Structure 1
Amino acid sequence: MPNHVAFNPEFPDITESNRLWERASGLIPAGTQTLAKGPTQYSNGIAPKCLRRGRGARVWDVDGNEYLDYSMGVGPVILGYCHPAVDEAIQRQLQDGITFSLMHPLEVELAERMRDCIPNAEAVRFCKTGCDITTAAMRLARAYTGRERVLCCGYHSWHDWYIGITDRAAGIPAATRDLTHTIQYNDIASVLDAIDDGTACVILEPLVFEQEDGSFLKTLREVCEQFGALLVFDEMWTGFRCALGGAQEFLGVRADLSLFSKAMANGMPIAAITGRRDVMSLLEKDVFFFTTFGGETLSLAAAIACIDFMEKHHVQAEIARTGQRLTDGLRKLIRKLKMDYVSVSGYPFRSLLNLAPMDGDPLAMKTLLQQELLRRGILWSGTHALSYSHLPEDIEYTLAAYEKSLIALNDAVERGEVLQRLRGDLVQAVFRKTSHFHVKPRLDAGRLNRQLA
C-alpha cells in the first residue's frame, strides 16, 4: 500500500519513479528540466523522482505515495494545486483558444490589473519565464543609461549576463563575464566598492533568507540615484508572496523595474516586467523584446484569476499567519530539543531550515532529515514555500513530523552515525551562490571618499 501523510512504518516504495528515471537517463541531459526538482536535491534511493498529480497542498508520486508539499512547484503554486478559481478560468479560455494571430484583450486586462496593484508599474510587458524577464531588464537598463556594467545580488537564472560569473560558465564569452559583478546583501559598503559611472543597474532579490536590516534597500536606492544607475528588483520569489504589490509594497522602497513570475498565475508559465514608463518606453522600438507566446491566453487568464482571488481573500496575510505558526513552532521545537546547530531564517511566507554543526557534514544531516520527513509524508528540500492551501492542521502535523525527524537526526549526530543511517545518496549543494564571488576589486581610498562625499 502506498504511503500517506502519516507516520508510515516504512519508507515509500519508489519503483515506478526509478523506472522513469532510467528511461530519462541519457535521453534528457541531467534528467530534469529544473535543477531544483531533480534527484540532486532529493535523496536518490529514498525520495520520489516523479510526481503525477496534486491537490491543495498535497501531491502524489507515480507510485501512489502522498506527500504534504513544501516546495509547491519551486514557488509558483501559491493558492494550491488544482485551485478551482484558476482552473476554471483556464478552462473557460480554453473554449475560445490558446494562441492567436493578433493580440488578445486579456493582455490589456492583465496589464491594467498589475498596474493597479503593483507600485510604480507604469508600464507592463509579458513573456513566459523569469530568466527572459531578467535579461530584458538588463538590456533595458543598458539602453536607458548608455552603460554596460551590472551589479547583482542573488540568483538570476541561466542567461549569459548572470550565469557567466558562476562555476557553470562554459560557453559564455569572457567579455560578457567581465560586465557583471556581485555585491553582498545588507552590505552597502560592498555596493560602494563596486558601483561607478559605468554601472547600468543594480539587480537583486529584495528579500532573501537573511532579514533586511531596515536600511540597506533604502540606502541602496539613494546610492543608485547618486550614480545614475537603475535599481531592479528580481521578484520571482517575493512577487505576490510577501504582499500583493510585491517587495515595493512590503518594504516601502521604490525600484525602477520590478520583475515577476512564479506565483502570479498559480503554476501557469508567465512572467512580467513592470516599472517606470520612461524606461519601459524603450521597448516600443529601441530595445527589441517580442515573443510568440507572450500573449498566450491560458496563462493570462490564470494570472488574472489568481490575482483577483489573492486580493479578495487576503491570501498574503493568510500565508503570513500560517508561515508564522510554522516558524514559531519550529523555533520552539529546536529550543526544546536543545539542537543549537539548527535554526530557522527567512520570512513567514518563505523560510529556511539551517543545519550548521561545529563539525560533521551539513549536507549529510540535511539528507537524513529529509529522509525521515519523507517517511512521514513531508516533501521537503530545505525551504518552506507556504501556500494558501496549507491548513492549520497541516502545520500541526508538520511540526509533529519534524519533532520525530529532528529527534532521529540528533540521535545520529550524538552517536556519530549520520552517514551510516542514510538509506539513499547525499543531496548536493544547492546551485544558488549569492554572495562573495566575482566581486569587483575595491576602489582606491581616495575615489571611495569622493563618492561617499
Structure 2
Amino acid sequence: MANRVEFNPDLPDIAESNTLWERARGLIPAGTQTLAKGPTQFSDGVAPKYLIKGKGARVWDVDGNEYLDYNMGIGPIVLGYCHPAVDAAIRAQLEDGITFSLMHPLEVELAELLRDCIPNTEAVRFSKTGCDVTSAAVRLARAFTGRERILCCGYHGWHDWYIGVTDRCAGVPEAVKALTHTVNYNDLQSVIDAVDEDVACVILEPFVFERENGHFLSGLREVCDRLGVLLIFDEMWTGFRCAVGGAQEFLGVRSDLSLFSKAMANGMPISAITGRGDVMALLEKEVFFYTTFGGEALSLAASVACIDFMRKNDVTARLAQSGQRLLDGLNGLIRERGLETVSVTGYPFRTLMTFSPKAGDPLKLKTLVQQELIRRGILWSGIHNLCFSHSDADIDYTIAAFGEAFAVLEAAVATGRVDAELRGAPLQPVFRKTSQFHSKPRRKDDEALLASGPLNRNVA
C-alpha cells in the first residue's frame, strides 16, 4: 500500500519514480528542468522524483504516495494546488482559446488590476518567467541611465548578466561578468563601497530569509536617489506573499521597478514588470522586449482570478498566521531540545531551516531530517513555503513530525551515526554563494559623490 500523510515505518516505495529517472538520465541534461526539483535537493534513494497530482496542500507521486507539501511548486502555488477559483477561470478561458493573432482584453484588465494593487505602478508589461523580467529590467535601467554596471543582491535567474557572479558561469563572456557585482543584504556600506557613476541599477530581492533591519532599504533608496541609480525589487518570492502590493507595501520603501512572477497566477507561467512610467516608456521603442506568449490568455485569466481571490479573502494574512504558527512551533521544539545546531529564519510566510556544522556536515543533517519527514508523509527541502490551503491541522501535524525527526537527529548526532542512519544520498549545494563574492571596491575618485548629506546618517 502506498504511504500516506502519517507515520510510516517503511520509507515510500519509489520504484516508478526510479524507472522514470533511469529513462531521463542521459537524455535530459541533469535529468531535470528545474534544479530545485531535482534529486540533488531531495535524497536520491529515499525521496520521490516525480509528482503526478496535487490538491490543496498535498501532492501524490507516480507510485501513489501522498505528501503534505512545503515546496509549493518551488514558489508559485500560493492558494493551493488545483484551487477552484483559478482552475475555473482557466477552464472558462480555454473554451474560447489560449493565444490569438491580436491582443486580448485580459492584458488590459490584469494591467489595471496590478496598477491598483502595487504601489508606484504607472505602467505594466507581461512576460513568462522571472528571468525574462529581471533581464528586461536591467536592460531598461541601462537604457534609462546610459550606464552599464549592475549591483545585485540575491538570486535573479540564469541569464548572462546575473549568472556570471556565481560558480555556474561557464559560457558567459568575461566582459559580461565584469559588469555585474554583488552587494550584501542589510549592509549599506557594501553598497556605498561599490556604487559609482557607472552603476545603472541596484537589483535585489527586498528580503529572502534574513529580515530587513529597519533602515537598509530606506538607506539604499537614498543612495540610489543621490546618484541617479534605479532601485529594482525582484519580487518573485515576496510578491503576493508578504502583501498583495509586495515589498513596497510590506516595508514602505519605494522602488523604481518591481518584478513579479511566482505567486501571481497560482502556478500558471506569467511574469510582470511594474513601475515608473518614464522608465517603462522606453519599452515603446528604444528597448525591445516583446514575446509571443506575453499575452497568452490562460495565464492572464489565472492571474486575474488569483489576485481577485487574494484580495477578497485576505490570503496574505492567512499565510502570515499559518507561518507564525509553524515558526513558533519549530522554535519551541528547538528550545525544548536544546538543538543548538538547528535554526529557523525568515518572515512567517516563508522560512528556512538551517543546520550548523558544529554537529557535522550540515547537508547530511538536513538529509536525515528530510528522510524522517518523508517517512511521515511530508515533502520538505529546508524551506517552508506556505499556501492558503495549509490548515491548522496540517501545521500541528508538521510540528509533531518535526519533533520526531529532531529526536532521530539528536540520537544520531549523539552516537556519531548520522551517516549510518541515512538511507539515501546526501543533498548537494546549489550555488557556492551569491554574496560576499564578486564585489567591486569603490574607486578613490568616487568618494566625493558620497561625502556629504543625510546619506551618512544611515551608515552605522
TM-score interval, smaller chain: over 0.9
Q: Which residue of structure 2 aligns with residue 34 of structure 1?
A: 34
Q: Which residue of structure 2 aligns with residue 44 of structure 1?
A: 44
Alignment of structure 1 residues 78-227 onto 2, 5 Å? 78-227=78-227
Shift of 1:442: 4.3
Q: Which residue of structure 2 aligns with residue 297 of structure 1?
A: 297
Q: Which residue of structure 2 aligns with residue 448 of structure 1?
A: 447
Q: Distance in 1 between matches of 2:141 and 2:23?
A: 44
Unaligned runs of 5+ in 1: none
Task: Give the aligned CA root-mean-square deviation in angstroms.
Answer: 0.9
Shift of 1:433: 2.5
TM-score (norm 1): 0.99
- Alignment partner of 2:259: what SS? strand
Deviation by residue 1:19-53 (Cα, 9 ceiling, x = unmatched): 00000011111111000000000000000000000
Alignment of structure 1 residues 214-253 onto 2, 5 Å? 214-253=214-253
Deviation by residue 1:125-173 (Cα, 9 ceiling, x = unmatched): 0000000100000000000000000000000000000001211111111
Q: Which residue of structure 2 aligns with residue 363 of structure 1?
A: 363
Are positions 1:11 and 2:11 aligned together?
yes
Q: Distance in 2 between matches of 1:77 and 1:332?
A: 27
The amino acid of 1:258's aligned partner reads S
TM-score (norm 2): 0.97
Q: Which residue of structure 1 aligns with residue 330 of structure 2?
A: 330
Q: Which residue of structure 2 aligns with residue 340 of structure 1?
A: 340
CA contact (8 A) 1:16 1:62 kept: yes
Q: Percent sequence identity over matched residues?
A: 69
Deviation by residue 1:100-128 (Cα, 9 ceiling, x = unmatched): 00000000000000000000111000000
Q: Distance in 1 between matches of 2:423 and 2:272?
A: 42
Alignment of structure 1 residues 308-319 onto 2, 5 Å? 308-319=308-319
Shift of 1:358: 1.7
The amino acid of 2:180's aligned partner reads T
Q: Distance in 2 between matches of 1:64 and 1:180?
A: 46
Q: Distance in 2 between matches of 1:442 and 1:290?
A: 36
Q: Distance in 2 between matches of 1:38 and 1:225?
A: 41
The amino acid of 1:123's aligned partner reads A
CA contact (8 A) 2:372 2:405 kept: yes
Q: Which residue of structure 2 aligns with residue 278 of structure 1?
A: 278
> What is the number of residues matched between the two proteins?
452
The amino acid of 1:255's aligned partner reads S
Q: Distance in 2 between matches of 1:450 and 1:25?
A: 54
Structure 1 window deviating more from structure 2 (430-439 vs 215-224): it is: 430-439
Are positions 1:419 and 2:419 aligned together?
yes
Q: Which residue of structure 2 aligns with residue 386 of structure 1?
A: 386
Deviation by residue 1:393-442 (Cα, 9 ceiling, x = unmatched): 00000011000001100110111111111000010013372311101134
The amino acid of 1:451's aligned partner reads L
CA contact (8 A) 1:192 1:448 kept: no
Q: Distance in 2 between matches of 1:94 and 1:290?
A: 23
Q: Distance in 1 between matches of 2:435 and 2:282?
A: 31
Provide closer, same or farther for how the CA distance between residues 290 and 431 of structure 1 changes in structure 2, counting only shifts above 3 A. same
Q: Distance in 1 between matches of 2:295 and 2:387?
A: 27
Q: Distance in 2 between matches of 1:160 and 1:13?
A: 40
- Alignment partner of 2:293: what SS? coil
Unaligned runs of 5+ in 2: 453-460
Q: Distance in 1 between matches of 2:12 and 2:447?
A: 58
CA contact (8 A) 1:54 1:81 kept: yes
Shift of 1:9: 1.1
Q: Distance in 2 between matches of 1:253 and 1:95?
A: 42
CA contact (8 A) 2:11 2:375 kept: yes
The amino acid of 1:352's aligned partner reads L
Shift of 1:450: 5.1
Deviation by residue 1:225-264 (Cα, 9 ceiling, x = unmatched): 1110000000000000000000000000000000000000
The amino acid of 1:425's aligned partner reads A
Shift of 1:286: 0.3
Structure 1 window deviating more from structure 2 (122-131 vs 427-436): it is: 427-436
Are positions 1:258 and 2:258 aligned together?
yes
- Alignment partner of 1:344: what SS? strand
- Alignment partner of 1:213: what SS? coil
Q: Which residue of structure 2 aligns with residue 353 of structure 1?
A: 353
